[in-house]
Amino acid sequence: MKSELINALSRAEIDAIEAEITHLPDRKSAAIDALKIVQSQRGWISDDSLSAIAKLLNMSAAELDGIATFYNLIFRHPVGEQVILFCDSVSCWLMNGEKVCSKLQRTLGIQHGETTADGQYTLLPVTCLGDCDHAPAMMVGESLHHDLTVDNIEAIFK
Amino acid sequence: MTQSPLTRNIQGNGPTDILAYEASGGYLAARDNIGKADPADLLQLIKDSNLLGRGGAGFPTGMKWSFVPPADGNGHRYLVANADEMEPGTFKDRLIMENDPHQLIEGMLLSAYTLAADVGYIFIRAEYHLAIARIRSAISEAEQKCYLGDRILGSKYSFHLQVHISAGRYICGEETALLNSLEGKRATPRAKPPFPQVSGLWGRPTIVNNVETLCNIPHIVNHGANWFKSLGKGDNAGTKLFGASGRVKNPGCWELPMGTSIREILEVHAGGMQDGYMLKGFLPGGASTDFLTPDHLDLPMEYEAIQKAGSRMGTGLMVVLDDRACPVGMIANLEKFFARESCGFCTPCREGLPWVQGILDKIEAGHGQAADLEVLERQALFIGAIGNTHCAHAPGAMEPLVSGLKYFRSEFEQHIHDGRCPYAGES
Amino acid sequence: MPTIKVDNQKLVVKDGDNLLQALLSAGIDIPYFCWHPAMGSIGACRQCAVVQYAGEDDTRGRIVMSCMTAVTDQARFSVATQSADQFRKSVIENLMLNHPHDCPVCEEGGECHLQDMTVMSGHSVRHYEGKKTTYRNQYLGPFIGHEMNRCITCYRCVRYYQDHAGGHDLNAFGSRDRVFFGRVESGLLESEFAGNLVEVCPTGVFTDKTFSKHYTRKWDLQSSPTICQGCSLGCNTYTSERYGQLRRVQNRYHHQVNGYFLCDRGRFGAQFVNAESRIRQAGIRNSQGLYDATELKTAIGIARSIISNASTIKGIGSPRASLESNQALRELVGQNNYSNGMTEVEQAMLQKIIDVLRSPIPTPSMMQTEQCDAVLVLGEDVTNFAPRLALSLRQATQNRAKTLALGVHIPLWHDAAVREIGQSDRSPLVIVTPTEDRLDEVASHVLRLAPDNIALLGDEICHAIKDEDNGTASDNVSSVAREIAGLLKQATKPLIVAGTSLQHPGILQAALNIAITLNQQNISAGFFACASESNSLGVAMLDNQHSISDIMAEQPETLVVLENDLQRRLGDRFDASLAGIKHLIVLDHLDNPTVSVSTLVLPAATFAEAEGTYVNNEGRAQRSFATFNPAGDITPSYELLDQLRSVKRHIDEIHHVIANSIPTLAGIVAAAPAASFRIEGAKIARMTHRASGRTAIDANISVHEPTPPMDDDSPLVYSMEGQHEQAPANLRAYSWAPGWNSNQSNHKFQQEVGGSERTGDPGILVLTGGGEIKTGDVTLTHRRLVPELHIFGSDELTNSAADLATLVTAPYLRMHGTTAQSLGVVQDDGVSFEVNKQRFSFAVIVDDSMPADSLAYPLIPATVVLTNLDDIQLSKAESWTKAPASGQRMITTDRSQ
Ligand SMILES: Cc1cc2nc3c(=O)[nH]c(=O)nc-3n(C[C@H](O)[C@H](O)[C@H](O)COP(=O)(O)O)c2cc1C
Ligand code: SF4
Ligand code: FES
């Protein structure tokens, strides 16, 4: 698991957030961008990060957290080095996705929402990845894997 | 003149860079029109072309644009490309964005010029990493060549285009939820009116269009309204990205004339069902469209005909239900998706969908009772009509349920009668 | 006015209304949750559905939300049709999926909007078999309870708290069927208006904790219409009692004064009535200097003989006591020996306020200030001095958004759309104060100036309005002044707010000059004055002749003090002033420094136990009625004072005496009906029809049914027998209508939703027209010490409310960095100073937003010695009480349990 590097935001994070703000009419509008910038550095949004970002954007922690907790790709809990987004939508379901996912869960020893003991992977269900012609599909970190079967899924994590 | 304008550059051998795009006639429309054409003429052209929005609802694009009030010089006007593409079963916008990003940029540029918009956003879902990277590099190429930025191509017109990467949630695809999300807020849809054209992003005039819709614009501008109309079959204008997923031999996405028959799409392009599987039904255009059955195979894929048959063409990408998959299970899967993706604003959707999902899960698990079907029907009536809820998400959710109850009722009853799913063990 | 057809009934409705408002105004019941009359519509709950038909031939129609539907001429609707009815039943059924069945233990039970709407919608059979969602609750401070499981996700709380009241620490978290309304973490809700959540929430999620401690069902409470004692605004309240204790205070709708909302001082501060320090018996100081509790009769006898033997007798009344009690004192000691209990400075300022209220200058009511499109606040920390006004000024900043909305045909009830089009584009609000105010964040201009400079800037603005160059101000000041003058001149309804909190006559005069000058230029500028106490204006009108000092200067042998802690007025001069007095007779509710030095003390009834008339800051005389008859010897002051001169008279007689002797107060007779008022022969009941156990309430003492206490003074009775919802607004004891057990019943009494009461707005404006007003010279005080007000702590009585007292700040001195540097102190150090040979040590708060030439101290009991001082000599201290958390004046979140 990525540990919280430092409490306050880094210079690079602040610069990246400020750069987003320049495209927007007010600071608060950068809320989602800012959360994503910090998350890309730290893996997730801790309470401390949340407060620091809120301060930078001139909003309260409650205002920012209302936004953070709305979106499924903003993590308010620690996640593994890589997040596995396993599509559980209809085309993948039709193509045996559930069984493949169960196999994956057995392989990694985790259920949805859990992180492997070594801190490598967190598994989450996701809405249709737009890869239905190669269902079932999943995304590990930033790479898309498709045409998954009960037989080929294990190899991806070797 | 190509008959598949949208995909003419897409051969599956990598993305089109700006030189290749220009070589294929790209940015010609921009060079000919930006700073030269009268926006009012362009608007009339789009109206004349009968282009219908490709985001799912099929609303005439020209008419939508005409609701934008005249520029008042009091602030920004926005154009937003809806590249959120999260409708289960849909994978068309990604195809264009990954393989021909300049087409979207040119489409946006011409649209923005027509609308006197000075700022554009491409609202794209975060999982589309490749598309994001390619669009970003295309934007900087376009900026270098003065197709974007200040004083485009030496004209007085400026247009700045940004990519906004979403933080997830299907509801962001709903255009007013998308606007709230772009503003950095919770993606709760807005009540209409006022329409975004009048009060959109940060309260300013805004147009939201689907990626595919916008990509049609340069071609219409280049070749005219009549050419565009001639592309479709019957009264339908243009081509459309159609596709199929599920147990078909050759799942995929193809650019075909609007109005191509379902049979042609499924049997010719998708290659028919995989061996050992039979067609039981299909969702014609994504998760939020009503089931159709093999009886409907000869219908043309176009908005009106599909609507008459009791469904919606939606995104035009079909999800095929085969005879070895459980329809109750499929509907349960769909409703789980809709319940999870509810924004939580209005009662019928927030409370009603999880209840529906719970009942479906129960029936699928073999614990259903006859009374459950009555509850499902009552809930469908309650949630299902546009206007009953704050946005179209929940009514969309009821489409596969209501049609499923109509076409596959005996299967529901069998689950309840047998106390088990008759398909258990199948795959 | 459009005509619409609803179920074949023709209704003429108000243009610009939505259908829900129109239906409710027409008396047609329709259930709703997310809509609120003061907050407009968002269309979230879908409960208010009706069917709309496309035309005469349309038979099916379609479901629309009435709250989101504009009324247009000839539109056709049905409330009753089966599809609408079934839809509304389904909404309730679905809301109930996750709602716990805890009504029997829920504090909302019996006055629950959700219960009412469930009954109204007719949903009664449960089909859902699944589990219910559950949540963890949070600690939200001493005032507000949190029980999230009861939430129906109507979004009213966040809309009220964030959008209406401007709070930042309450929000909606999560999404889909798991939306949590609360804070990021447990802790005190920061808004000064958080208490309204209790009334805004349609279920029992947010409850009044001070009430929970001694909870009673609404139907078992005995209540009366009262006037808030927290400040000069005179908000209308319902005060409720059971077993001799004040249980709670709720908002009482007033179309002109407080609308639907109160501040937290008003709502929670009234618990002082139950304070430990309450004086419940008469006391006489014995030879050892201690008090002997004495029977009231005996004490009155002794007091009478003191008075009859006194060579000189004087009386000091009080701006926090009723007109009736002040008048009774005035009669006891004689007009020439009476002071209304204020200093000369304050009296002079109140005279100015009276003059302006009588002049042609528009003096809007608090609710009318919400319509003003440019506001200048000169010298008042509104949030902490006249708190409820801050909520209204916040709404005034929304007028810009409303104008923009109307420009693109967005109806004003379409709340989200109005806010969206408005963005952060606000109507101008200029705040000129020495210290921070929470309103700063919505202000267009914030200026931190020392009091004298505020007055000078005001003067400069006045010149700028006249396009004069005064020549004396710096370029900087005159350019700011010109900018502000420009804003005021461009507005159609500008407003100037000033008052007495800084005790600076120059500021008040400057503000007045601005309003007068604008009006001279035919700009209809309003003037809104804030005074200190609930009856400051009333007593100033009654008799503004002698100040406290005038009375003290004559060293009376016997002094009668009515409900007034002289230490708060006299500060360091307190001890010296009282030194020569032989007999000090004090009538008051709570122990205080004046009571402590008295020779005889009489237990005076509070507002909750006595009838009284109070004149608020806009000159509205309002009658407050006793909620309950206090046990033991506690007696209304006017009655005690009459007894001291062996007179027995009816309170209505006092009204007539006042009316006859003081023409401007003649109106008070009509402020509420007299005691003889009856409806169909009956008085107005303080208890509900359903009050249970009144007859057995004292069964632990005697099983015989006690006779209800008599109330000859008022048209109300201490009983459930009498008139209830037929009562006129100024006598209604609680808000209830058939089918509407919650406070949402308000609309049943209004002429139209959110409008005036059908029986007229309570109270009577006694200061109207006739007078003249001229600009005057702006004087300076050269005071370096500036009182900083606190909503919790700066008011005398509410300080003793148990739960509120926990939020009173420790003493401090706030200073600019340069001042700190010159003293050699930093943040969290202490400074000390000497007054009357006594040494005090306070913590230092360094705050560079302060004007460099001022020192601010919190106006709390611990700092009372500073009240009249212009300056003090400071040195670094050795020991002191820690500064309030983080040096911020605003409540911070780290007060969690
Ligand atoms: C719940 C919901 C989700 C939607 N998701 C998308 C989407 O992912 N992409 C899209 O283009 N349109 C989506 N739409 C439709 C948009 O609201 C909007 O109609 C569309 O972007 C307009 O573009 P068009 O006029 O070009 O079709 C969605 C609508 C709803 C109600
Ligand atoms: S139907 Fe209602 S709850 Fe559902 S997504 Fe739309 S607004 Fe949100
Ligand atoms: S009151 Fe109309 S939708 Fe809630």
The 10s digit of each residue's pLDDT in C40-89 is 999 999 999 999 999 889 999 999 999 999 999 999 999 999 999 999 99
Instruction: Tokens for B1, please give them.
Output: 């003149």
The predicted pLDDT at position C491 comes to: 97
List, for residues B22-50, the tens digit of each pLDDT value.
Answer: 999 999 999 999 999 999 999 999 999 99
For residue B336, the enclosing domain spans 327-418
Answer yes or no: is pLDDT of C887 > 80: no
Residue of B87, B94, B169, B181 best suited for mutating to test ligand 1, as the one with most atoms within 8 Å of CB = B87
The reply to whether B268 and B144 lie within a common domain is no
The predicted pLDDT at position C885 comes to: 54
Answer yes or no: is pLDDT of A42 > 80: yes
Question: Which residue is associated with the tokens 């409705």?
Answer: C13
pLDDT band per the 50, 70, 90 thresholds, residue C897: very low
Q: How far is the CA of B186 from the centre of ligand 2 (A)?
A: 12
List, for residues B318-356, the tens digit of each pLDDT value.
Answer: 999 999 999 999 999 999 999 999 999 999 999 999 999
Given B164, B197, B230, which residue is the final one in a domain?
Answer: B230
Answer yes or no: is pLDDT of C591 > 60: yes
Nearest CA to CA, how far is B172 from chain A (Å)? Answer: 10
Residues C593-609, mean pLDDT to the nearest whole number: 96
Nearest to B37 by CA among B222, B216, B163: B222
List, for residues C759-784, the tens digit of each pLDDT value.
Answer: 999 999 999 878 899 999 999 999 99
Ligand 3 pocket residue status of C261, Cβ below 6 Å: no
Answer yes or no: is pLDDT of C888 > 50: no
Residue A93 contacts B where some CB pair is shorter than 8 Å: yes
Residue C416 contacts B where some CB pair is shorter than 8 Å: yes
Q: Considering the domain boundaries, does residue B4 fall inside one?
A: no
Put simply, the answer to whether B351 touches C175 (Cβ < 8 Å) is: no
The reply to whether B205 and B224 lie within a common domain is yes
Residues C837-848, mean pLDDT to the nearest whole number: 94
Q: How far apart are the C-alpha atoms of C318 and C592, rounded to whole Å?
A: 14
The reply to whether A88 and A150 lie within a common domain is yes
The reply to whether B180 and B316 lie within a common domain is no
The predicted pLDDT at position C444 comes to: 97
Instruction: Tokens for B358, please give them.
Output: 């719970």
Instruction: Find the CATH number of the domain harbouring A6.
Output: 1.10.10
Q: Considering the domain boundaries, does residue B295 fall inside one?
A: yes
For residue A129, the enclosing domain spans 82-156
What is the residue extent of each domain of chain C?
3-95, 128-274, 282-345+538-765, 363-524, 785-876
Residues B412-416, mean pLDDT to the nearest whole number: 98
**What CATH number matches the domain at C785-876, 2.120.10.80, 3.80.10.10, 2.40.40.20, 3.30.460.80?**
2.40.40.20
Cβ neighbours of B390 in C, within 8 Å = 43-44, 46
Name the residue facing B355 among C86, C97, C174 (closest C-beta).
C97
Q: Chain C interface, mutation test: which of B345, B375, B376, most C Cβ atoms within 10 Å?
A: B345
Q: Considering the domain boundaries, does residue A53 fall inside one?
A: yes
Put simply, the answer to whether A91 touches B187 (Cβ < 8 Å) is: no
Q: Considering the domain boundaries, does residue A134 fall inside one?
A: yes
Residue B328 contacts A where some CB pair is shorter than 8 Å: no
The reply to whether A10 and A65 lie within a common domain is yes
Q: How far apart are the C-alpha atoms of C366 and A3, rounded to whole Å?
A: 53
Q: How far apart are the C-alpha atoms of B286 and B295, rounded to whole Å?
A: 19
- Number of residues written out for chain B: 427
Task: Locate the ligand 3 atom nearest the alpha carbon of residue C35 and give its number.
Answer: 1
Spell out the CATH class of C363-524.
alpha beta
User: What dotted CATH number matches C3-95?
Assistant: 3.10.20.740
The reply to whether A52 and A110 lie within a common domain is no
Q: How far apart are the C-alpha atoms of C428 and C492, rounded to whole Å?
A: 12
Given B284, B307, B322, which residue is the final one in a domain?
Answer: B322
The reply to whether B211 and B307 lie within a common domain is no
Nearest CA to CA, how far is A152 from chain B (Å)? Answer: 17
Average pLDDT, chain B: 96
Residues C145-171, mean pLDDT to the nearest whole number: 98
Nearest CA to CA, how far is A13 from chain B (Å)? Answer: 17
Judged by DSSP in three states, C333 sits in helix
Judged by DSSP in three states, C849 sits in coil
Of the listed ranges A86-95, B66-75, C452-461, the one predicted with least confidence: B66-75
C382: left (phi over 0), alpha (psi -120 to 50) or beta: alpha
Contact C406, B198 (CB under 8 A): no
Answer yes or no: is pLDDT of C611 > 70: yes
**What CATH number matches the domain at C282-345+538-765, 3.30.56.10, 3.40.50.740, 3.40.50.1360, 3.90.1150.10?**
3.40.50.740
List, for residues C185-237, the tens digit of each pLDDT value.
Answer: 999 999 999 999 999 999 999 999 999 999 999 999 999 999 999 999 999 99
The reply to whether B318 and B341 lie within a common domain is no
Residues framing ligand 1 (Cβ under 6 A): B 53-57, 59, 61, 64, 82, 84-87, 171, 173-175, 208-210, 213, 391-393, 396
Answer yes or no: is pLDDT of A5 > 50: no
Put simply, the answer to whether C169 touches A70 (Cβ < 8 Å) is: no
Nearest to C829 by CA among C773, C763, C881: C881
The reply to whether A108 and A150 lie within a common domain is yes
> How far, rounded to the nearest angstrom, does the alpha carbon of residue C677 sit from its chain's CA centroid?
28
Instruction: Tokens for B93, please give them.
Output: 């916008």
The predicted pLDDT at position C703 comes to: 85
Q: How far is the CA of B337 from the centre of ligand 2 (A)?
A: 13
Question: Which residue is associated with the tokens 């067609």?
Answer: B279
The predicted pLDDT at position C698 comes to: 81
Put simply, the answer to whether C422 touches B345 (Cβ < 8 Å) is: no
Nearest CA to CA, how far is B199 from chain C (Å)? Answer: 6
The percent of residues in chain C predicted with pLDDT above 70, rounded, is 98
The predicted pLDDT at position B2 comes to: 61
Q: In 10 A of CB B169, how many CB atoms? A: 27
The reply to whether A8 and A63 lie within a common domain is yes
The predicted pLDDT at position C879 comes to: 80
pTM of the predicted model as reported, rounded to 2 decimal places:
0.96
Q: How far apart are the C-alpha atoms of C584 and C680, rounded to whole Å?
A: 48
The reply to whether B103 and B60 lie within a common domain is yes
Q: How many domains does chain B have?
A: 3
Residue C173 contacts A where some CB pair is shorter than 8 Å: yes
Give the β-pairing of B119-124 and B239-246.
unpaired
The reply to whether A66 and A15 lie within a common domain is yes
Contact C551, C559 (CB under 8 A): yes
List, for residues B135-176, the tens digit of each pLDDT value.
Answer: 999 999 999 999 999 999 999 999 999 999 999 999 999 999
Answer yes or no: is pLDDT of B427 > 60: no
Answer yes or no: is pLDDT of C851 > 50: yes
The reply to whether B187 and B41 lie within a common domain is yes
List, for residues C235-279, the tens digit of each pLDDT value.
Answer: 999 999 999 999 999 999 999 999 999 999 999 999 999 999 999
CA distance between the termini of chain B: 45
Instruction: Find the CATH number of the domain harbouring A130.
Output: 3.40.30.10
Residues C591-597, mean pLDDT to the nearest whole number: 95
Contacts for C195 with CB less than 8 Å, ≥ 6 apart:
C143, C144, C208, C262, C263, C264, C267, C268
**Where does residue C895 rank: exposed (0-12), middle (13-18), buried (19+ CB within 10 A)?**
middle
The predicted pLDDT at position C699 comes to: 84
Q: How far is the CA of C21 from the centre of ligand 3 (A)?
A: 11
The predicted pLDDT at position C890 comes to: 40
Given B213, B230, B247, which residue is the final one in a domain?
Answer: B230
Instruction: Tokens for B95, please give them.
Output: 């195809």
The reply to whether B88 and B176 lie within a common domain is yes
Answer yes or no: is pLDDT of C459 > 70: yes
C887: left (phi over 0), alpha (psi -120 to 50) or beta: left
Answer yes or no: is pLDDT of C886 > 50: no
Q: Walk across the sheet containing A121-126 and list its strands.
A: A121-126, A82-87, A138-140, A143-145
**Where does residue B70 rank: exposed (0-12), middle (13-18), buried (19+ CB within 10 A)?**
exposed
Put simply, the answer to whether C410 touches B169 (Cβ < 8 Å) is: no
Q: Which chains touch C (3 or more CB pairs under 8 A)?
A: A, B
Q: How far apart are the C-alpha atoms of B345 and B16, rounded to whole Å?
A: 42
Q: Chain C interface, mutation test: which of A29, A59, A63, most C Cβ atoms within 10 Å?
A: A63
Query: Is residue A101 annotated as involved in ligand binding?
Result: no
Answer yes or no: is pLDDT of A3 > 50: no
Give the β-pairing of C620-624 and C612-615.
antiparallel
Answer yes or no: is pLDDT of C479 > 80: yes
Instruction: Tokens for A115, please give them.
Output: 């992180």
Q: How far apart are the C-alpha atoms of B161 and B210, rounded to whole Å?
A: 16
The predicted pLDDT at position C682 comes to: 96
Instruction: Tokens for B122, please give them.
Output: 């491409």
Query: Is residue A128 annotated as involved in ligand binding?
Result: yes
The percent of residues in chain B predicted with pLDDT above 90, rounded, is 96
The predicted pLDDT at position C894 comes to: 33
Ligand 3 pocket residue status of C65, Cβ below 6 Å: yes
List, for residues C357-374, the tens digit of each pLDDT value.
Answer: 999 999 999 999 999 999
Average pLDDT, chain C: 95
Residue B378 contacts C where some CB pair is shorter than 8 Å: yes
